């Protein structure tokens, strides 16, 4: 490859590695990523590329308030490298629809320029059959979708940067339980989007266990240069399956036994409640007996409450008693306060 072509490819790769504001990338990190892609360049030459050749022709911004300097594209920069082809544009359009119910709004906002470019590309096509595909398919969330919690874009940028580069993170975090802000140094290991919220899984400096932090309750976040503690045995999927992100009523799993309505039985045959599930016809009835191994968590109880008279729980006994107590409380409340709009609803 000629030297001029090699330089051109290096410059294009450099541009592709620079995120859009509020995302940022430090010059040494950029140098490392270029080396991973086969472009070896000393730091001084890279700085000349950024400040000279690239900044003079592209809408780049340099944050010189921190060392090493950090680079980004301007937030509203209209640039797309390389140009989208139709399959890539279609994938982005479908991803936008799916991610809308999974990511906080401010996170999705950072992807708007790419999504917009994808829509413009598809709209410009008249005879390509793929262009009409995005208009004919939709993804809907299961259950009631809540409005995503607002998230500060600078906080998201700092959290993702610390997680990506495995750096420690100083945060000011608003505790929902104590209703006060506290300062922590975190060692991030994972990030999970759940319903309308995102959670950072991290070890608090000075402690051994992992905890999860709602990202929208992080009021301030600053990535540090110090490397985060390594967790080589951490498995994000195993962490989720353990129920760590659920509101547990007890540790481990339990055996759920219940009589269920035939319509519900049909649904659970198509979409089982768990890997260990059986459905058996009840003699003399069109109902069926459900047996399943489930986590002992509030989500399963809320699912049961939402089924109303389509389910009768038989085991575990502790859930049977809790359901009875809840029904008695509701019956008492509605019998006593029927039609009274001014009384406050008591805690159940």
Q: CATH no. for residue 267?
A: 3.30.70
Mean pLDDT computed over 9-22: 84
Of the candidates 158, 216, 217, which has an alpha carbon nearest to the alpha carbon of residue 188? 158
Q: Which phi and psi (to 5°) does residue 37 adopt?
A: -100, 10
Q: What percent of the chain has pLDDT over 90?
A: 38
Q: Which residue has the higher pLDDT, 141 or 116?
A: 116
Residue 254 and residue 332 in one domain: yes
- pLDDT-derived band at 1 (thresholds 50, 70, 90) equals very low
Residue 234 and residue 259 in one domain: no
Dihedral over Cα of 66, 69, 70, 72: its sign? positive
Highest mean pLDDT among 148-162, 188-202, 256-270, 327-341: 256-270
Q: Which residue has the higher pLDDT, 335 or 104?
A: 335
Joined together, the tokens standing for residue 273 give: 């409640």
Task: Say whether pLDDT at 98 is over 70.
Answer: no
Query: Distance of CA 92 to CAs 75, 115, 195, Å?
Result: 19, 6, 21
The half-sphere exposure of 130 on its side-chain side, counting CA atoms within 13 A, is 14
Residue 257 and residue 222 in one domain: no
Mean pLDDT computed over 14-19: 86
Task: Tally Cβ neighbours within 10 Å of residue 26.
Answer: 19
- pLDDT-derived band at 8 (thresholds 50, 70, 90) equals confident
Task: Say whether pLDDT at 318 is over 90.
Answer: yes
Query: Distance of CA 62 to CAs 18, 39, 74, 333, Å?
Result: 11, 22, 10, 61
Mean pLDDT computed over 222-229: 92
**200 domain residue, yes or no:** yes
Residue 254 and residue 236 in one domain: no
- pLDDT-derived band at 342 (thresholds 50, 70, 90) equals low
Which of 183, 208, 241 terminates a domain? The answer is 241
- Cβ atoms of 316 and 254 within 8 Å: the answer is yes
**18 domain residue, yes or no:** yes
- Cβ atoms of 152 and 201 within 8 Å: the answer is no
When mean pLDDT is compared across 62-76, 141-155, 188-202, 311-325, the lowest value belongs to 141-155
**145 domain residue, yes or no:** no
When mean pLDDT is compared across 188-197, 264-273, 306-315, the lowest value belongs to 188-197
Paired sense of beta strands 70-73 and 180-194, if any: unpaired
Residue 60 and residue 103 in one domain: no
Residue 234 and residue 255 in one domain: no
Q: CATH no. for residue 212?
A: 2.30.30
**230 domain residue, yes or no:** yes
The residues pairing with 211 across neighbouring beta strands, listed in sequence order, are 202
**345 domain residue, yes or no:** no
Q: CATH no. for residue 56?
A: 1.10.10
Instruction: Please tell me the predicted confidence (pLDDT) of residue 339.
Output: 61
Instruction: Please tell me the predicted confidence (pLDDT) of residue 197.
Output: 82
As a whole number of Å, the CA-based R_g of the chain is 26
- The structural domain count of the chain equals 4
Instruction: Please tell me the predicted confidence (pLDDT) of residue 312.
Output: 96
Residue 202 and residue 271 in one domain: no
Instruction: Please tell me the predicted confidence (pLDDT) of residue 10.
Output: 85
pTM: 0.59
- pLDDT-derived band at 261 (thresholds 50, 70, 90) equals very high
- Cβ atoms of 173 and 217 within 8 Å: the answer is yes
- pLDDT-derived band at 88 (thresholds 50, 70, 90) equals confident
Domain extent, residue 19, equals: 3-73
- pLDDT-derived band at 55 (thresholds 50, 70, 90) equals confident
Instruction: Please tell me the predicted confidence (pLDDT) of residue 205.
Output: 93
**143 domain residue, yes or no:** no
Residue 157 and residue 228 in one domain: yes
**342 domain residue, yes or no:** no
Which of 180, 212, 241 terminates a domain? The answer is 241
Task: Say whether pLDDT at 331 is over 80.
Answer: yes
Which of 241, 276, 304 terminates a domain? The answer is 241
Task: Say whether pLDDT at 107 is over 80.
Answer: no
Q: Which residue has the higher pLDDT, 78 or 60?
A: 60
Instruction: Please tell me the predicted confidence (pLDDT) of residue 297.
Output: 85
129-175 tens-digit pLDDT: 777 777 777 666 677 777 777 888 788 888 888 888 889 999 999 98
Residue 130 and residue 163 in one domain: no
Q: What is the mean pLDDT of the chain?
A: 83
**343 domain residue, yes or no:** no
């Amino acid at each position: 490859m000629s030297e001029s072509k090699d330089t051109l490819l290096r410059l294009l790769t450099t541009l592709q590695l620079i995120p859009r504001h509020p995302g940022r990338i430090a010059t040494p990190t950029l140098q490392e990523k270029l080396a991973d892609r086969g472009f070896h360049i000393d730091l001084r030459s890279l700085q000349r590329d950024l400040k000279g050749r690239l900044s003079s022709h592209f809408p780049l911004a340099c944050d010189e308030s921190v060392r090493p300097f950090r680079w980004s594209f301007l937030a509203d920069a209209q640039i797309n490298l390389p140009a989208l082809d139709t399959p890539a544009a279609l994938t982005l359009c479908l991803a936008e629809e799916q991610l809308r119910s999974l990511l906080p709004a401010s996170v999705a906002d950072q992807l708007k320029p790419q999504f917009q470019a994808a829509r413009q590309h598809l709209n410009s096509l008249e005879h390509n059959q793929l262009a009409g595909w995005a208009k004919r398919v939709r993804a809907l969330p299961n259950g009631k979708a809540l409005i995503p919690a607002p998230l500060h874009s600078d906080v998201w940028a700092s959290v993702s940067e610390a997680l990506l580069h495995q750096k420690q993170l100083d945060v000011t975090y608003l505790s929902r339980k104590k209703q006060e802000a506290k300062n922590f140094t975190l060692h991030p290991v994972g990030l999970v989007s759940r319903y309308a919220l995102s959670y950072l899984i991290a070890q608090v400096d000075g402690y051994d266990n992992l905890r999860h932090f709602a990202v929208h309750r992080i009021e301030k976040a600053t990535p540090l240069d110090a490397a985060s503690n390594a967790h080589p045995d951490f498995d994000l999927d195993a962490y989720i399956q353990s129920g760590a992100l659920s509101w547990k009523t007890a540790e481990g799993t339990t055996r759920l036994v219940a009589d269920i309505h035939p319509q519900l039985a049909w649904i659970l045959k198509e979409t089982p409640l768990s890997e260990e599930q059986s459905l058996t016809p009840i003699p003399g009835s069109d109902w069926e007996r459900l047996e399943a191994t489930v986590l002992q968590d509030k989500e399963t109880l809320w699912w049961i409450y939402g089924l109303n008279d389509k389910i009768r729980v038989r085991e575990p006994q502790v859930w049977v008693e809790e359901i009875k107590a809840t029904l008695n409380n509701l019956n008492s409340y509605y019998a006593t306060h029927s039609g009274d709009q001014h009384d406050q609803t008591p805690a159940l």
